[in-house]
Amino acid sequence: MAETEKAVRQSVSIPSSVARRVQALARRRRTSASRVIVELIETGLDAREQEKRRFFDLADRLANSSDSSEQKRLKEELAKMTFGD
């Protein structure tokens, strides 16, 4: 979270096992549990955005490919991303 960005209070219930893990991370990093939660959320959002970009990059490559073996490989990668292994 950027220093100039206004903070918004948000109440979220999390499982106790997750709370323990967050507290442990906070102690190790010598920071607050709130800061750890913000960092984890930001990391997760960034990962989702990267996955989305990768999906669309693969789709563009598939649309522009004329090589049938590459098309097959790209289709398989897209299917794995969409439906899992």
pLDDT in tens, 4-36: 789 899 999 999 999 999 999 999 999 999 999
Could you give the number of structural domains in the chain? 1
In a domain, residue 44? The reply is yes
Distance between CA atoms of residues 13 and 75, nearest Å: 39
Cβ atoms of 34 and 22 within 8 Å: the answer is no
pLDDT beyond 70 at 82 = yes
**Per-chain mean pLDDT for the chain:** 94
In a domain, residue 8? The reply is no
In a domain, residue 3? The reply is no
What pLDDT is stored for residue 79 in this prediction? 94
Provide the whole-model pTM. 0.75
End-to-end CA distance of the chain: 34
- Residue 34 belongs to domain spanning: 16-83
